[in-house]
Chain A
Amino acid sequence: MTSLLSVRKLEKRFGAVVAADDLSIDIAAGQKVSLIGANGAGKTTFVNMVTGYLKPDRGAIALNGFDLGRRSPRRVAQLGISRSFQIPQLFVDLTAAENLAVAISATHAQALSFHSPAEAQGRRQKAIELLERFGLAQQADRPILELAGGVRKLVDIAMALIRRPKLLLLDEPTSGVSAEEKFATMDRVVHAVAPDAATIVFVEHDMEIVSRYADRVVAFYSGRIIADGEPHTVLKDANVRRYVTGSAR
């Protein structure tokens, strides 16, 4: 199987803290991969390195065989990797539709119009269509400030989807979402992402979410991968039970 994302011997240290230690991983197109691990295990550092926010000390990251090198988050986004954030990174004074309008503008960032209205018919329609996929069309004209955490998460993910990315990285899509909302939120995400058939990598702490939505799980501990495979196998792994889920006796 050819890899969409190929990571080889990635290393990253913050002083004495090892955030990535000889990480190698291949992710094939169409997979739904969950990254699990305790706080500080190196999951978000991995996401930050793949998206260009952090530069690895050593190692290589390639998308479809194309070396991402030390490219900036902007260039990585243009090459087909989008991400959402643990704390939604939105433009809180703008409405949900305006947030998406900014993301739509990013698809032709070199030729932004200086006179065409920001929410010109085509752009607004595209924004509403995407919001509809997340069940958010009714919220299009509400400022982000008026939306709850779960809804903000969805808008954040919708923005990441605008480019129809080859690889979508979701950093804890259900963190900060109440227990009764987490499955509703995740259902909407999976349903909305499906038409673009994006490969999804999501960081998650909730093992119910992991076992229900992932078809592959990668477990991190101290910057290393300690288990990689199908959910039912990885979640039963002794090291994962000991260091990640805390369920080992």
Chain B
Amino acid sequence: MRYASLHPIIAIVPVIAAVTFGRVLPAWTLSLATVAASNALVALGIVILARTGNVSFGQGLFFAAGGYGVALIARAWGVTDAVVQVLLGAACGGLLGVVVGPLIARYSGIFFGMLTLALSMVFYGVLVKTTVLGGSDGFNVGRPSLFGITFADAREADFVLYALSVATTGLAGIAARILFQSEFGLVSLAVRENNLRVEYLGISSRRVIAINFAVAAMLAGASGAFALMAQRHIDPQFAYWTTSGEFVFVAVLAGYQSVVAVFVASLVLELVRSFSNLYMPNTWQLVLGVFLLAVILLLPEGIGSLWSRKSRKKVAPVRVSEMAEKEARS
């Protein structure tokens, strides 16, 4: 049986295995995997949006909206439950996406990308100037809890965050796979290929882009909540363009063909970053750049193309007269 023919819900097995595996992982890899899973969530949103032919260079906007939203609610009402915080982060990012999406869906290509970047930088500027939010220093939040339990042991707290981020990202991946195979997923691909024809068929391509945009924003908001819980601190850097750039970096590495590739790309990127930072502390960005160039040159459609590439045999085009002949013979 081909992998593609399996129901996406089967993927819950490797998600459970990955969560369980966290019990035997060394402490340093737990936090690395948590960051990788969290970043993968934003990159997954970018991949979902990229299937409509648009790339957002400003997902930091929603990442920061999720993080700040959760942090402010935690500070005001003492909401510390990790699950609730993830849901709140997703809601904050998603709501902002619902507002911004229809406006930005009027544009495409480079204008779309630069507008998202501009909006995230406007938000960054506002955050830096807002002293009640701590200005450029940001502010701290308390340790998260889970179902009323606060984990004092650092290893246990790290594991809980790891398990929650891997489970959330895994479930988001399963949902994304179902979305990709759905009617809406097919129409999204059609928008990328020929949005004029989509309009002539009677579908609003702007509406399709806006919905995908809101989904991507929701995932970025949830990821912002994870980043907040991991650092227990938030600052305007969440919305800065380099943060958005990292998410695009993961999405480019992954390509748009595979959900699994997003997680693999995010993990590979974190590993390359960690090891290059350890062994080449002054030139780790150079290593990262060379790594990205190598992937773009060798796998222009991303890591996912290693196993998702459709084999295109060279075949002669079928002609109407040949079809007529075949029919006449039969």
Contacts and interface: CB of A to CB of B under 8 A. Distances in A.
B310 to A, nearest CB: 8
A125 to B, nearest CB: 15
Contacts of B319: 148, 150-151, 178, 181
A105 B187 contact: yes
B197 A90 contact: yes
B320 A89 contact: no
A136 B181 CA distance: 24
Interface residues of B, number: 34
Interface string A158-201: 01001100000000000001101100110010000000000000
A31 B159 CA distance: 72
A115 B202 contact: no
Interface string B317-330: 11111011011000
A117 B181 contact: yes
B321 A180 contact: yes
A105 B320 contact: no
Interface stretch (A61-69, A139-147, A205-213, A231-239): A139-147
A11 interface: no
B4 to A, nearest CB: 12
A101 interface: yes
A194 to B, nearest CB: 18
A94 B197 CA distance: 14
A184 B203 CA distance: 32
Of B181, B185, B186, B204, most buried by chain A (CB within 10 Å of CB) is B186
Contacts of B200: 51, 73-74, 77, 82-83, 89
Given A77-B200, A181-B321, 13 more contacts: A51-B200, A74-B204, A83-B200, A90-B197, A94-B190, A101-B183, A102-B190, A102-B201, A116-B183, A118-B186, A135-B324, A142-B318, A177-B320
B179 interface: yes
A45 B281 CA distance: 63
Contacts of B194: 89-91
Contacts of A177: 320
Contacts of A112: 183-184, 187, 203, 208
A154 interface: yes
Interface string B166-188: 00000000000011011111110
A2 interface: no
B303 to A, nearest CB: 20
B183 A123 contact: yes
Contacts of A247: none
A135 B187 CA distance: 25
Contacts of A78: 202
